[in-house]
Structure 1
Amino acid sequence: MAKSVLTGDLDHVCLKCLKPRLAQAPRHKTLKSAEDIIVERNAACGAGAYVPFPVSRSVGAAALACDHVLDWANGVNNDRFRSRTVDNAKAYNIADSSPSDRLTVPPAGSLTLEWQPQRYVLIHPHCMQAMSAYTQRQERDREAGGIFLGSYRGAHIEIRAITHPLRQDRRERHLFDRSDPGHQAAAKTAWAKSGETTTFTGEWHTHPENNPFPSSRDLQTWKGLIANTTDPLVFIILGWSSNWYGVGYRRRVYSAKPI
């Protein structure tokens, strides 16, 4: 498959938006699940690994890019992302379009947070409803928590699912320790079922107070999580009257605000 993307417009995708992380799948899945990429090496000349393809593939890609540039020069800017499938048996057909780098249109009732200028977190409404059910209203209620499952969309984060407190988690009135391996198992399952696009994007827990704020233990735990990834992670603490929202990124925890 050959692909061409016309960049330079802040409202549309760039190459990074189409594949936010090198180790993960692109926004538009290319190969069908049963197909593998053939990688070869030329031991005779000491060349590194490469993917073999005929000259016609290079010519086809160059022609696609030339047509794209000519259309742009003539003022035709529809379909900023274009692709041409060479082998329909092995690759998907991707419709030409002008995808935005913004988050998808949020479902009604979604919560949108801004933690840096033009960097957003979208949380689907059923996630907020599920977390709110664990708010500690009674003296006997213990802290609850879980993880977020979602996707990175360019500079933004979309949270579509959470995990709930599990049996082996440590839950006390003023403590939640996410120790049940079921949380990690849920993340691995979501990763596999989504074609490696849905992943761990942060965690949540409750506090028995009106207006919660991260404790020293919370900050220490989060810094440990941030140190193990290059991606931003979302942190939420739910209280009686309000919630605290934040995003951890590059050794810092930023406060996030609903918009």
Structure 2
Amino acid sequence: MKSNFPVKLRSNCRYLGGEENHAEKLSGGFYDHTFIPECSGGYLRHKYFAITYILKGYGVFKDHCLRCFNYQEGDLVLRHADTPFFMSKHFRADGWLEFSAALPQSLSDALLAAGILQKNLTFLSPGITPALLGAAEAYTDSLFCVNRITGVGRAYAAILNFFDELARSTAPSIFPENPKEMQQLEKIKQLLDDVSNTDPLPQLARQVGMGYENFRKSFRRWTGVSPQEYRIQRRLDQADALLRHTNLSIKEIAERLGYSDIVIFSRQYQKFRHVSPSAGRGAMPPAKALLRR
């Protein structure tokens, strides 16, 4: 691994919705150890979408799906807007170097809707390639033109080109090679997506003709999380929707999701969302519709 890269340390940042609106942050650049502190990390949550491309250094990244990745040079992490994440950063003997970019939440929402981004895609290993470095440099340079006519459009075009180069550099193989096993895992995933289904995991494995241990290991390889963690996340996703879009009490939400005790629900929500259910509801827009069935 080379200790030097043909890039200049430079960066720029704009807030498209005003200085107080961090959700509309548009920034990017190359940062070294004089700008990025070495730290053990902690859970954070940003309003904007962010990319970190590791050029020198290593650490641990935990995403909003509770997956844990040990990253190193050539890896890239995606942090989705307004989701919790953990990221430690540790320097090599010769320091740290990264390319980072922040995109407005409105843009990342559009990219998610278009299928260019995927909410469960948070970690890639493209390696350090001249094409990807060049796209990162072009995006960084474009940020110095955002105050000119069509400047924002130029920056958006540059980051889309970066994503295009990233797609060319990565070809993840995350699906089981056995078509039958793929179908079995898809069926179990559908069962786990139904939050009203409380059948034990070994029973679900038997329903689709899989042994429990094989199911557990294959499911984790496929999704990056254990079956139990996946089930919890789907419940909490539904809890988020009910907190945001209904006037149901927290006790009613817990009961609807199959929790026997509001305390158990609150503790689990706090553990995985890092805020209490009431704080989660308070941080969201007022309910606009009642989803009572």
Structure with greater helix percent: 2
| TM tier relative to shorter chain | 0.3 to 0.5
Return the structure number with greater strand share. 1
TM-score, length-scaled by structure 2: 0.30
Greater gyration radius: 1
Q: TM-score scaled by structure 1?
A: 0.33
Return the structure number with greater relative CO, CA threshold 8 A, min gap 6: 1
